[in-house]
Amino acid sequence: MFKNVAVVGATGAVGQIVRRLLEERNFPAEKFRFLASARSAGTKLTFKGEEHTIEELTKDCFAGSDLVIASTPDDIAQEYLPSAVEAGCKVIDESGYWRMKEGVALVIPEVNPQDALDAKGIIASPNCSTTQMVLALKPLHDAAKVKRVIVSTYQATSGAGVQGTADLFDGSKAFLSGEKYEYKAFTHPIAFNCIPQIGGEKADGYTSEELKMLYETRKILGDDSILVNPTAVRVPVANCHSESITVETERPISPQEARELFEAFPGIQVIDDLPNSAYPLPSTCDGSDLVYIGRIRKDISNPNGLSFWCVSDNLRKGAATNAVQIGELLAKNL
C-alpha cells in the first residue's frame, strides 16, 4: 500500500477520471493529495466523502508523497516530474513528453508489467490510440508474431481535452441552428466533419499522433522490427476512439483463433456478431475500462492477414485507467 499519493493535474479531463477511478477501485493508499496549476490551487474538491484543498504544483511539492500520478500537458510533465523522481516518488505520467525517452518505462499493465516493476524513474502511460491497439496486438504477437500493422483511426474529440468536446457539441448546435461557431481546439470545423490530422507534421508526411502509434508500439512490445502504417483521423464523436486494424503475422491466424486469443487476454472483450449487427460502438463502450474488439475477419488481401475493429474509452483505458492500473501493479509489488 502507498502512504501518500499525489494526483497531479487533478482538475483536467483525464485527472477528473483518475480521481473517480481511485475512489471506485479503492486504490491501495493511505492518503491522497491533489495538485494542479496555480489557477486551480486553493479550490476544494470532495474525494471519498472528504473535502480536499487543491495544492499548487511546484518543484518542491512532492516531499512526503511516495506515488505521483500525473495527467498534465507535455511541458508541465517535462518541467515538474524530474523533481518528483528526485524526491523519491514512483512517478506515473500520462503526458507524451517522457514516453520515448531512454530509461523511461512505457507500460500497459496487461502487456509489459515487468517494465513498470523494473523502472528506476518515470513510468509513462502510452498515447490513447496506441494503448488500445497494442493491447489488441499483444495476444496476436505472442501467438504468431506481428510483422505489420495498417491502422486507420476514428478518434473522439475528448482526446483534444475538455475544449475538444465543447467544440463538438457547441459547433454542432450552432450548425443545426444555422449559426456560426469559432472552433478553439481544432483548425477545421469538427461538427459533421472528419479531420485527417491529429498533431503537427512530424516526418515523411506523418503526424505526431501517427508516429506515436509506430514508435510507442515498438517500445511497449519490445520489438523494433514491427512495421506500423497509421492514419489518424478526428471524427465527430465525443468519447471513445475506434480503430480499423489490419495485421500481418508471421503465420496465419484464423478469425476463430484470434477470437479465442482475444477472449483469453485480460482487458479485452469481444463483441462480434455481424449478422445481428453486434460490434463495439463508441456509444456502448463509453465509460468502460476495457478494450472492445469486433468485426474479426480474414484479411481477404493477404493469407497471413487479419482485420478487426477496436473501440475503447480513450479517457479511461487510453489514459486514466491505464495509469491507475500501473499504480495498482506497483502497489502489489511494494
| Residue span 157-196 as binding mask against its own copies, x where in contact by CB under 8 A, dash where not | -----------xx--xx--x----------xxx--xxxxx
Site for its own copies in 110-129 (CB under 8 A): none
Is residue 75 part of the contact set for its own copies (CB under 8 A)?
A: no
Is residue 53 part of the contact set for its own copies (CB under 8 A)?
A: no
Q: Is 141 a catalytic residue?
A: no
Q: Which of 205, 251, 264, 333 binds its own copies (CB under 8 A)?
A: 205
- Report strand pairing: 241-249 vs 146-154: antiparallel
The amino acid sitting at 240 is C
The amino acid sitting at 128 is C
Do the beta carbons of residue 237 and residue 198 sit within 8 Å? no
Q: Is 11 annotated as a binding residue?
A: yes
CA-based nearest residue to 237, from 176, 296, 191? 191
Q: Which of 4, 78, 298, 331 binds its own copies (CB under 8 A)?
A: 298
CB of 198 to its own copies, least distance (A): 11
Nearer to its own copies, 41 or 195 (CB): 195
Is residue 100 part of the contact set for its own copies (CB under 8 A)?
A: no
Stretch that binds its own copies, among 43-51, 73-81, 128-136, 201-209 (CB under 8 A): 201-209
The amino acid sitting at 129 is S
Catalytic residue among 61, 141, 241, 285: 241
Site for its own copies in 214-273 (CB under 8 A): 214, 227-229, 231, 233, 235-238, 242, 244, 246, 255
DSSP secondary structure letters along 155-186? B-GGGG-HHHHHHHHHHHHHHHTT-----SS-
Catalytic residue among 61, 89, 128, 310: 128
Do the beta carbons of residue 304 and residue 318 sit within 8 Å? no
Do the beta carbons of residue 94 and residue 70 sit within 8 Å? yes
Cα distances (Å, whole numbers) of residue 93 to 108, 162, 171: 12, 19, 32
Neighbours of 196 (CB within 10 A): 12
Do the beta carbons of residue 10 and residue 34 sit within 8 Å? yes
Is residue 208 part of the contact set for its own copies (CB under 8 A)?
A: no
Q: Is 52 a catalytic residue?
A: no
Site for its own copies in 307-326 (CB under 8 A): 307, 309
CB of 156 to its own copies, least distance (A): 9
DSSP state of 206: E
DSSP state of 317: I
- Residue 98: all three cell numbers together: 517522457
First CA to last CA distance, the chain: 7
- Report strand pairing: 67-70 vs 2-8: parallel
| Residue span 277-296 as binding mask against its own copies, x where in contact by CB under 8 A, dash where not | x-xxxxx----------xxx
**Bind-site residues for phosphate:** 99
**Bind-site residues for NADP(+):** 11-14, 39-40, 158-159, 314
Task: Give me the active site residues, please.
Answer: 128, 241
User: Given the rule CB under 8 A, which residues bind its own copies?
Assistant: 148-150, 152, 154, 168-169, 172-173, 176, 187-189, 192-197, 200-201, 204-207, 214, 227-229, 231, 233, 235-238, 242, 244, 246, 255, 274-275, 277, 279-283, 294-302, 305, 307, 309
